[in-house]
Amino acid sequence: MYEVKLESPDDIVIALAGNPNTGKSTVFNSLTGLNQHTGNWPGKTVSNAQGKFTHKDKKYILVDLPGTYSLLSSSVEEEIARDFICFGNPNVTIVVTDATCLERNLNLALQIMEITNNVIICVNLMDEAKRKNMSIDIEKLSNLLGVPVVATTARSGDGLDDLKNMVEKVANGEIIPTPKQISYDEILETAIKQVQPYVETIADNLNSKWVSLRLIDNDQSLINSMNNHINYNFSDDKLLQTKLDDVRAKLESEGYQLYDLRDQVVSSIFKTAEYINNQVLALYDESYNKVDYKIDRILTSRIFGIPIMIALLGLVFWLTIEGANYPSMMLADGLFYIQDHLTSFFTWLGTPIWVHDILILGIYRTLAWVISVMLPPMAIFFPLFTLLEDLGYLPRIAFNLDYYFKKACAHGKQALTMCMGFGCNAAGVIACRIIDSPREQLIAIITNNFVPCNGRFPTLIVLSSIFIAGAASTSSSIAATLFILLAIVMSVIITLFISKILSKTILKGLPSSFILELPPYRKPQVGKIIIHSIFDRTLFVLGRAVMVAAPAGLVIWLMANITVGNFSLLTHCALFLDPFSRLLGLDGYIMMAFILGLPANEIVIPILIMSYTSKGAILELSSLTEMGQLFVENGWTWLTAVCMMIFSLNHWPCGTTLLTIKKETQSWKWTWISFIVPTLTGIILCFIVAQGARLLGLA
């Protein structure tokens, strides 16, 4: 369970619960000023977050619980959420609900209200409800539920002050909520009453009616948690067990089927939710939904669904390539202009030449390359991609592709984790938590690396621009886009193919169930997206790349300049790798660049340039044309470029991703498999392509 770090005993702990995709993360961010990533798809929040805020000189600690639909199904997320509400002693629990589908959200709210009294309902997404012409009677809702209800639009900050004030009042006892209790049928209520007095003596902090019902239902997950958190040992408590047996026997004798007890419970809760919803909801404009529906019909249609998906992806890449071209050149020019001046400065200072070479030719130049090659595409790609995510398009991709994943015995939500992988494979691996079935989750983790992350796009873009499309011109960016699209469609096919192989070999099994919510389209907040994706994602990823690039630049410079015998260390390594690499259509330096690029894929091309330039005359590369010349001088053909692109798409995951896989799977075995599977795929594909092309006399 969460460790909550209190700074003083007066600190107030707030649990934030809610269905997936209700804007819970947005509420969390708005209250705490933190920047948890948000996006319009269920299950977005997979990491557990805590944050603080101060309101009227009091400190509040906010704990963001995993989004769940219920607390009765005993999934890991539900257990975490339930245990924190039961045993984490939060002073207040806020249940964030979606105003546009209140009924479904009330199910969870009512369940939480059975456990604890100090509940505040936050009806969020009021702006969306308004656009749908839905009106919710907040006061009536509060009266019916017996707890405070606050209406908010967290994205714009509306209602958050009311929410803070309400939290304060509930926390200090000024308002005492009296939650409506679900009434079950008479037989069940009688049964509960027989156990309740005894339960009160063992768990005085918990709602005894709720615990009694859970015990009659034989909820093992709760019994285990009680054992862990309040030191209550159920198996020793023969008295309670006898009582429960009696009650169950009596229930059965009265015609109550124990196996559908939970069905009865869920039905009672949903019927209450339905009743309340009908009481407070007024004016529902169907025409708004029709627009949503029409968009969906097109985006998921048999004829257009998949072509539109590919076209949208193509548009994102084209904008990225076209838009990044010029800024990349400007950055390179600027950074190398600074390099010249730094060199003059060092000469003027009279520092030894090797100090200058290490700092400038080693570290600075690698950094300059990483920044000029990486920054512009990321700064364009991330906001565009976040826009699609915010709109709610990603679940539609999962919907469109699920059939193929089912054929591969994998989970349709793997499409979502692949989409996250486009940004960063480590993020993609974490996103795999949304897949319940452990087998399918492992498949998604192992294959996530097949989709190229942002660190590998520059490699693909640069190589396809130079060798496939010719030097920079407008038509070339279209050709480059098409080639990258082809590469991505291929990577999806490889993902499906490898998933299928895994399902038939080391991860045998049948596809599990697939239930996916398609959230309503939401109007994205363009301004916020740009700021967030540039500052949180772009600069974060770039920062990490820079951190890795600086030492890598140093290492590569040392390797290129320390000579043993006739050659430099780098050349020794490259010569050693060369025969094998040639079989794959690469050369030893390219293989070295991939190996040294293990910490981050972003630095593969910069390392390669460093290696080539340090061998001979030092070039000031400021355009793709010059880079192309450098590659050609080193014996490259189109085949080298194609093989390098294939290997870039299919090789070991970067260091960060591997560590994330270790953390997620808790196993070195699966981490190694995640390393080996894409690497072997890459070796086999490159070998086939290189040897095939040579046999056919194409290269």
Question: Which of 72, 203, 394, 534 forms a contact with other proteins (CB under 8 A)?
Answer: 72
Question: Which window, 159-167, 270-278, 627-635, 672-680, contacts other proteins (CB under 8 A)?
Answer: 270-278
Provide the residue type at 445 as one letter: I
Of all helices (H) and strands (E), which one includes residue 387?
A: helix 365-391
SS3 call for 150: strand
Distance in angstroms between the alpha carbons of the first and the last residue of the chain: 59
Q: Report residue 497 as tokens.
A: 């193919």
Q: Report residue 226 as tokens.
A: 């009680």
> Considering the rule CB under 8 A, would residue 135 count as an interface residue with other proteins?
no
Nearer to other proteins by C-beta: 270 or 497?
270
> Considering the rule CB under 8 A, would residue 293 count as an interface residue with other proteins?
yes
Q: Give the number of other CB atoms < 10 A from CB of residue 7.
A: 9
**CB of 215 vs other proteins, minimal distance in Å:** 18
What residues numbered 409-468 form the site for other proteins, per CB under 8 A?
412, 436
Strands 58-64 and 12-18: parallel
Question: Which window, 54-62, 216-224, 269-277, 638-646, contacts other proteins (CB under 8 A)?
Answer: 269-277
* Max Cα–Cα distance, the chain, nearest Å: 98
Nearer to other proteins by C-beta: 72 or 570?
72
Of all helices (H) and strands (E), which one includes residue 39?
A: none
Question: Which of 520, 606, 653, 682 forms a contact with other proteins (CB under 8 A)?
Answer: 520
**CB of 114 vs other proteins, minimal distance in Å:** 15
Cβ-Cβ contacts under 8 Å for 552 (sequence gap 6 or more): 366, 596, 597, 599, 603, 607
DSSP assignment, residue 45? -
Q: What x/- string results for residues 471 through 510 when contact with other proteins is judged by CB under 8 A?
A: ----------------------------------------
Q: Report residue 216 as tokens.
A: 């009659």
Nearer to other proteins by C-beta: 407 or 504?
407
Nearer to other proteins by C-beta: 11 or 274?
274
Length in residues, the chain: 699
Nearer to other proteins by C-beta: 293 or 535?
293
> Considering the rule CB under 8 A, would residue 306 count as an interface residue with other proteins?
yes
SS3 call for 119: strand
**CB of 201 vs other proteins, minimal distance in Å:** 31
> Considering the rule CB under 8 A, would residue 137 count as an interface residue with other proteins?
no
- Measured CA to CA, the distance from residue 613 to residue 369 in angstroms comes to 13
Q: What x/- string results for residues 92 through 111 when contact with other proteins is judged by CB under 8 A?
A: --------xxxxx--x----
Cα radius of gyration rounded to whole Å, the chain: 29
- Measured CA to CA, the distance from residue 23 to residue 97 in angstroms comes to 8
What residues numbered 521-560 form the site for other proteins, per CB under 8 A?
none
> Considering the rule CB under 8 A, would residue 693 count as an interface residue with other proteins?
no
Question: Which window, 214-222, 265-273, 452-460, 576-584, contacts other proteins (CB under 8 A)?
Answer: 265-273
CA distances from 391 to 301, 310, 519, 521, 525 (A): 18, 17, 9, 5, 9
38-54 burial, b at 16+ Cβ within 10 Å, e below that, comes to bbbbbbbbbeebbbebe
> Considering the rule CB under 8 A, would residue 287 count as an interface residue with other proteins?
no
Nearer to other proteins by C-beta: 157 or 307?
307
Nearer to other proteins by C-beta: 428 or 511?
511
| Torsion 562-564-566-571 (CA) sign | negative
Question: Which of 302, 474, 564, 579 forms a contact with other proteins (CB under 8 A)?
Answer: 302
Concatenated DSSP letters for 608-651?
A: HHHHHHHHSSPP---SHHHHHHHHHHTT--HHHHHHHHHHHHSS
Question: Which of 515, 564, 695, 696 forms a contact with other proteins (CB under 8 A)?
Answer: 515
**CB of 216 vs other proteins, minimal distance in Å:** 17
- Measured CA to CA, the distance from residue 153 to residue 97 in angstroms comes to 11
**CB of 1 vs other proteins, minimal distance in Å:** 22
Question: Which of 36, 48, 50, 70 forms a contact with other proteins (CB under 8 A)?
Answer: 70
Q: What x/- string results for residues 386 through 405 when contact with other proteins is judged by CB under 8 A?
A: -------------xx-xxx-
User: Nearest to residue 140, comparing CAs of 180, 111, 174, 185?
Assistant: 180
Cβ-Cβ contacts under 8 Å for 57 (sequence gap 6 or more): none
Q: Please count the residues of this chain forming the interface with other proteins, following the rule CB under 8 A.
A: 44
What is the binding site for other proteins (CB under 8 A)? 69-70, 72-75, 100-104, 107, 262-263, 266-267, 270, 273-274, 293, 296-297, 300-302, 305-306, 399-400, 402-404, 406, 412, 436, 511, 513-520
